[in-house]
Amino acid sequence: MLTAAARAFKTPDLRKKILFTLLVMAIFRLGSHIPTPGISFKLIQACQKGAGSNQSFLGLANLFSGGALLQLSVFALGIMPYITASIIVQLLTVVIPRFEELKKEGQSGQTKMTQYTRYLTIGLALLQSATLVTAAKANPSTLLGGDSSTCPTIMPNQGVFYLIIMVLVLTAGTGLIMWLGEQITERGIGNGMSLLILTAVAARVPGSVWAIHDQGWGKFLLVVVMGLVVTVAVVFVENSQRRIPVQYAKRMVGRRMYGGMSTYLPLKVNMANVIPIIFATSLLSLPVLLAGFAQPSDRSKPAAGWAQWVLNNLNRGDHWSYMLLSTVLVVFFTFFYVSITYQPEEVADNLKSAGSFIPGVRAGKATADYLNYVLTRITVVGAVYLGVLALIPLIALAMVGANSNFPFGGASILILVGVGLETVKQVDSKLQQHHYEGFLRSDEPGAKSKPKATKAAKKEQTAGGRV
């Protein structure tokens, strides 16, 4: 591993890509600590004092922003508007025929889809920033998870002008994050958006792990060992796939024979990735959001019955009802997302048009049925796997009092392992490519020796011809 890293930094253009990626990631972290104009950081810290372990229903969004959301920094919204926009556009390809046609047009269609995603990201960022500023002004204690007596406000100036400036700054921050991610994709190494999410999640891992140290060294060491076990298991499952053999039929083109080769169609165990956990957590946060705003301004008065039940059950990650609903929703969204994104009929048609087939299975509908059969059984394993991962932070919250951003489970571990593996694979492929090109250019300094070798070869050929 260290040898590969040394080789990566010895390759000039690969070194530039890696350093550029690290620079953009550092800028992203710097923006997470710059406060939004009109927000008092001291008042935010006072609000968060005394907050519980499950500080807010915005725990997942705060995780993806690297803790910037609950500090209301310029990058408070993080990458969440882009993730939401990407998911919406991806789901609309199944509903809107125009989007489905763009998906089939290749690179030009993908460019238009990316443009639509950008516009939708800015629109969602504008909406979310306005909602966030309104919630921070009206009821900051509910937003930040603090006590209302110590958290009357976090905005010294609440004029309309200052509110508009806050909304515009938060929206511009999301646009800048989107641009930084695209720059990493074009000029750096790996997928830019995924690496920014990885940066945000990884930034909170040391603090989340060290917070368990307050429970004692025994629990701390136990959590670290269990974290290593979970990480190894996640790496194993993320690399697991079902390989369906595919055979290409032989065909004559002119006087040459083409085809006849064998390959495989890979189906990952976790085809939905982290999306079901995001969907489930976001859906469970909606009732808590509504119940928080439904509380009376006078805390001495009791809240409505449904609001009190939601705050007592769904606002606690260690409650059995929250765990049950979270697991059911994760399993449901796993099947839903896989059924939307992977179409066996389309894959069967592509195989048929390419002149390939699955051995022992007829082309067309029979192939689609077979792929659906295999996919359903793989998705069962993937859904159970994601459900267990989603429960790990909740169990840790009940056992050791860890917060909802426990790094060894749920969305955190999937992002860290998944993005890390993908980036390492890209670096490895670049290394192999540059090693091959370096081998070809190894004779360039001694280019004068090439003509001599060529003349010697010609003399040998001529001598051979004379014999």
**DSSP string for 39-107:** --HHHHHHHHTT--SS--TTHHHHHHTTT-GGGTBTTTTTTHHHHHHHHHHHHHHHH-HHHHHHHHTTH
Report pLDDT for 457: 44
Q: Is 148 exposed, middle or buried (0-12, 13-18, 19+ CB in 10 A)?
A: middle
Give the integer Cα–Cα distance in Å for 219 and 378.
35
| Single-letter amino acid, residue 364 | G
Backbone φ and ψ for 77, nearest 5 degrees, come out as: -75, -20
The helix or strand, by DSSP H or E, that contains position 124, with its residue range, turns out to be helix 107-138
Residue partners of 44: CB distance under 8 A and separation at least 6: 70, 71, 72, 144, 154
3-state class of 264 per DSSP?
Answer: strand
* Per-residue pLDDT of the chain in tens (467 residues, 90 and over written 9): 567 677 777 778 888 888 999 999 999 988 888 888 878 777 777 776 655 444 444 666 777 777 777 778 888 888 888 888 888 888 888 788 888 888 777 788 888 888 999 999 999 999 988 888 887 777 666 666 655 566 667 777 777 888 899 899 999 999 999 999 999 988 888 888 888 888 888 888 887 777 777 777 877 788 788 888 888 888 899 888 899 888 887 766 666 766 667 888 889 998 888 888 888 877 877 777 677 666 655 555 666 677 777 777 776 666 677 788 888 989 998 998 888 888 888 888 888 887 788 888 888 889 899 999 999 999 999 999 998 888 887 777 666 666 555 667 677 888 888 888 888 888 888 777 765 443 334 444 444 444 444 444 444 444 444 43
User: Contact 201/66 with Cβ under 8 angstroms?
Assistant: yes
| Single-letter amino acid, residue 385 | Y
Neighbours of 61 (CB within 10 A): 25
Give the integer Cα–Cα distance in Å for 300 and 279.
35
User: Contact 243/264 with Cβ under 8 angstroms?
Assistant: yes
User: Contact 54/314 with Cβ under 8 angstroms?
Assistant: no
Q: Where are the alpha helices (DSSP H) in 139-159?
A: 140-144
Structure letter (DSSP) for residue 36: P
| Single-letter amino acid, residue 448 | K
Q: Where are the alpha helices (DSSP H) in 297-448?
A: 305-313, 320-341, 344-353, 365-400, 410-440
- Token digits for 283? 């859906």
Query: Measured in Å, how far apart are the chain's first and last C-alpha atoms?
Result: 54
- Token digits for 388? 């267990």
Among 239, 164, 191, 230, which Cα is nearest to 86's? 191
Dihedral sign computed on CA atoms, order 350, 354, 358, 360:
positive
Instruction: Collect contacts of 364-372 with beta carbons under 8 A, ≥24 apart.
Output: 368/344, 369/344, 371/244, 371/265, 371/344, 371/347, 372/344
- Token digits for 212? 């368990």
- Token digits for 117? 């995603």
Residue partners of 369: CB distance under 8 A and separation at least 6: 344
The helix or strand, by DSSP H or E, that contains position 248, with its residue range, turns out to be strand 241-248
Backbone φ and ψ for 256, nearest 5 degrees, come out as: -110, 150
- Token digits for 81? 């508007």
CA dist list (Å): 451 to 437, 439, 442, 446: 21, 19, 16, 10
Residue partners of 188: CB distance under 8 A and separation at least 6: 17, 18, 20, 21, 24, 195
Give the integer Cα–Cα distance in Å for 9 and 208.
31
Among 47, 72, 49, 46, which Cα is nearest to 61's? 72
| Single-letter amino acid, residue 432 | Q
Report pLDDT for 180: 92
Give the integer Cα–Cα distance in Å for 170 and 288.
24
Full set of structural domains in the chain with CATH = 16-215 (1.10.3370.10), 216-439 (1.10.3370.10)
213-239: b (≥16 Cβ within 10 Å) or e:
eeeeeebbeebeeebeebbeebeebbe
